[in-house]
A and B are shown apart, each in its own frame.
Chain A
Amino acid sequence: MRAFTKHTGLVALMDRSNVDTDQIIPKQFLKRIERTGFGQFLFFDWRFQNDGSPNPDFELNRPEYAGASVLIARRNFGCGSSREHAPWALDDYGFRVLIAPSFADIFFNNCFKNGMLPIVMAEKTVDDLFARASAHPGYQLTVDLQSCTIADEHGLSLPFQVDPFRRHCLLGGLDDIGLTLQHEEKIAAYEKARGIA
């Protein structure tokens, strides 16, 4: 898995709460059997009009957000279906960091499996970030997972919290299955104790 240590990127703002995974990647695109290529379908029903042309009213279509890699949104981001295609689509589109006051559990978990960093920040802090990003065209953030701080070019320096073990795995690009299989003898011992042949 790709490691995450430090990332600097353009911020895009999504001023919506309860963004569900059906919006992030609509179901007709779940039929693929590969992990890749989902970026072109990200937020498909919001991004494109019926004739296939970009929807000028959708925030991610704003020219100033082209190439954005940090997404800031409102509460309960990623709710709904467990589809891991949602972080795949966000990642393939170019996002590496997501910031919101809260994330749905399964989506939050799925992000870490793909080398993406979801960061929970207090609503007031997210409000402030929205204000700062709106005030500065081309607003960028630097997200440092070593020091667990977020910085911008205007003097901001914010600490953030990440579960230490998840941080450790992201920093090292560690593969979950490989880590678990280091305890293979414990799995075998458990099965033996339960009579699982």
Chain B
Amino acid sequence: MTGENRPRTMFEKIWDAHVVHAEERRQTILYIDLHLVHEVTSPQAFEGLRLAGRRVRRPERAVATVDHNVPTTDRSLPIVDPVSKQQIDTLRDNCRQFDVRLYDVDHENQGIVHVIGPELGLTQPGMTIVCGDSHTATHGALGALAFGIGTSEVEHVLATQTLLQYRPKTFQIRVDGRLAAGVGAKDLILYLIGRISTQGGTGYSIEYTGEAIRALTMEGRMTVCNMSIEAGARAGLIAPDDTTYEYLRGRPFAPEDFDAAVAAWRQLPSDDGARYDRTEVFDAADVAPQVTWGTNPGHVTGVDGRVPELADFPDDVDRAAAAKALAYMGLEPGTPIRSITIDRVFIGSCTNGRIEDLREAAAVARGYQVADGVHAMVVPGSGPVKREAEAEGLDQVFTQAGFEWREPGCSMCLAMNPDKLEPGERCASTSNRNFEGRQGKDGRTHLVSPSMAAAAAVSGRFVDVRQWEYK
């Protein structure tokens, strides 16, 4: 008895449809529809293929781009860092040798891998998608089963077009109600991570459901799914709906027979009565604009809150970690978030580097000036995002306000390129990780939404963007 008639979650439907071989007490061999590749986690994988005399099984199912190492300044100049340059050259050579399509530095569609996938229509509902990058979860926003893998697994996918996986458990996170004005997708996912913790999702594939999730735009959904990994979950999915289908219609790699594809995709959402291994329910009205205060994304509170007291942590291990975090961040317990001043602002990343994020930030910045002593920059997530923003005049809004306007790339999210914090600098960042040293050694990262980042740039400190006076 196969049990095909029992109600299934979307995750189970996608998983079941991609099983090549399953055996008791072994990992399942899962077929991979789309393999996204970038320059940092692929060199050793391609080298492994060469050493073993193997080819890429399905080169047409792999798509590569350069994003982590690329400078976000003038790209006609050669890359200054020889090691970065070597890594980018290596990807170029590998793609040529193994016949993989590459969106190189000078390509008009180059960008952050998790921005260009959906943008090009490569990411589609019901697919299995992997990449050597933990924020691959982003693509779950389109109803794909998408997750990050290590370099050995990258090699495995290149060689076999499959992946060995144990099936994760399913976790429904339902968000009822609606987010308030001034509160967005980034605030929501930060709030959720704060509630379930950085390991609350470990071992699970999350499905986000509920009215507040349905109300999000595609880009908002990508922001939420992107940070699933920060809660420990490798994958985070949102069921496709008409919003999804309209987003994909007409994109370069969208299916030619689009209506037939939509009819198939409509079968994907979880069935009524499907069972999840765990469910948690939240109310969107409880979410205020969020600001992280510590050194992991779970160290977060509302902008109207304070840096916690150590006594707030009943668990010894958590309290010790909080004490270390406060020392690193140079913050005293009890400090109001709105009194924390900042030196740098970074708007961009695979979390918040899309056109709606830039519109949100520009609306706040319009008519104002970046505060004295603050260095702020905006990095669009891809070539198309940059061109769209320029067509709408957003670049002018930013530069007139005193923000730097850059070329697409991962930039200061992780400082593998020239964009980084100096020791001790405090940054309001729309990226996804505030680990020690993430944006630069001894740099202090506070994760926020695009509107909160822009408001902090103008104010020189964190302010509640719900009270912002838009010009």
B-binding residues in A (CB < 8 A): 15-18, 20, 22-23, 26-28, 30-35, 45, 50, 74-76, 79-85, 102, 104-106, 109-110, 113-114, 163-165, 176-177, 179-181, 183-184, 186-187, 190-191, 194, 196
Contacts and interface: CB of A to CB of B under 8 A. Distances in A.
A80 B438 CA distance: 11
- A22, A33, A113, A184 interface centre (most CB from chain B within 10 Å): A33
A187 B161 contact: yes
Given A84-B150, A181-B160, 5 more contacts: A76-B232, A104-B232, A105-B168, A110-B150, A114-B152
19 contacts: A27-B438, A28-B416, A33-B43, A33-B90, A34-B44, A74-B317, A79-B198, A81-B133, A82-B133, A84-B151, A105-B203, A113-B153, A163-B166, A177-B159, A181-B160, A183-B20, A187-B57, A187-B161, A196-B58
Contact of B321 (A17, A110, A181, A191): A17
B156 to A, nearest CB: 5
B309 interface: no
A30 B40 contact: yes
Contacts, number: 159
B150 A17 contact: no
Interface in B297-317: 317
B326 interface: no
B107 interface: no
- The 7 A-B residue pairs with the shortest CB-CB distance, nearest first, are A84-B150, A33-B43, A113-B152, A82-B148, A110-B150, A82-B134, A31-B83
Interface string B130-171: 001110000000000000111111011001111010101000
Given A17-B317, A80-B134, A113 B435 contact: no
Given A23-B437, A83-B150, A105 B29 contact: no
A45 B26 CA distance: 38
Contacts of A74: 317
A165 B27 contact: yes
B352 interface: no
Contact of B436 (A34, A45, A165, A190): A45
B114 interface: no
B211 to A, nearest CB: 30
Nearest to B201: A105
Interface of B: 20-21, 25-27, 29, 31, 40-41, 43-44, 47, 52, 54, 57-58, 68-69, 81, 83-84, 86-87, 90, 132-134, 148-153, 155-156, 159-162, 164, 166, 168, 198-199, 202-203, 229, 232, 234, 296, 317-318, 320-321, 324, 414-416, 423, 433, 435-438, 441
A79 B203 CA distance: 13
B150 A22 contact: no
B232 A186 contact: no
